[in-house]
Amino acid sequence: MPDSSKKKKIAILTGGGDAPGLNAVIYALVRACHNTMDCEVIGYKFGYRGLYNNDFMALNRQSTSGILHKGGTILFNSNKDNLFDYTVMENGVAVKKDVSDVAVQNMKNEGVDALVILGGDGTLTSARDFARKGVNVIGVPKTIDNDLPATDVTFGFDTAVNIVTENLGRLHTTAESHHRVMVVEVMGRSAGWICLHAGIAGSAIDSGQGSSGSFRH
């Protein structure tokens, strides 16, 4: 029977490209685990590559102090390490192999009870596949596009809107000085939330006298 007195161990990794708020999520997860659930927390470095190489660091109040406002991720990341189709060297030749069982065994050896994965489409597709192999997975969608159903705001969206709004304010003076209409293209993939929110906040759609602006997604 499992030992119910054993302290739970939670692992975290960040995959794909960086985005605003990754460190803030790590910070919040670590404090929730320590303060509410009394869990031990480790973080795998460089996304799934760290999971394969068993490369991790302890995450506690000390190691996550002061990261809340920092961009990027203290765990680093990688957007090309799919452990279900991973490049390994065999006899001097690069070949693609499914090495996911190595990652699963690494977690078992470390006593990991659950894996929290911060990532986008590719990263969370692998998260789904690890869940199918019996790993307890919690997926945290990483998208500044705010395009996740049943979710009010995804982390990073607010920062993206603020950055676009700030730069729109700078463009207004140039547009007005030269009496021009400027087209600003922003990120958002197939969703237009950054465009809409920043466009309204930055007066990009203001058609009043003395102001020139336009925006598109």
Catalytic residue set:
145
Q: Note the residue count of the chain.
A: 217
Which residues, at least 6 apart from 147, have a Cβ–Cβ distance to it below 8 Å?
Answer: 154, 188, 189, 190, 191, 193
Coil, strand or helix: which one is 58? strand
Decide: 56 and 97 in contact? Cβ < 8 Å.
no
Distance CA 47, CA 52 (A): 9
List Cβ<8 Å contacts ≥24 apart for 178-184.
179/212, 180/212, 181/212, 181/213, 181/214, 182/212, 182/213, 182/214, 183/214, 183/215, 183/216, 184/214, 184/215, 184/216
Residue 156: how many other CB atoms lie within 10 Å: 20
Token readout for 115 is 């894996």
Q: C-alpha 171: how far from its chain's center?
A: 29
Token readout for 211 is 């102001």
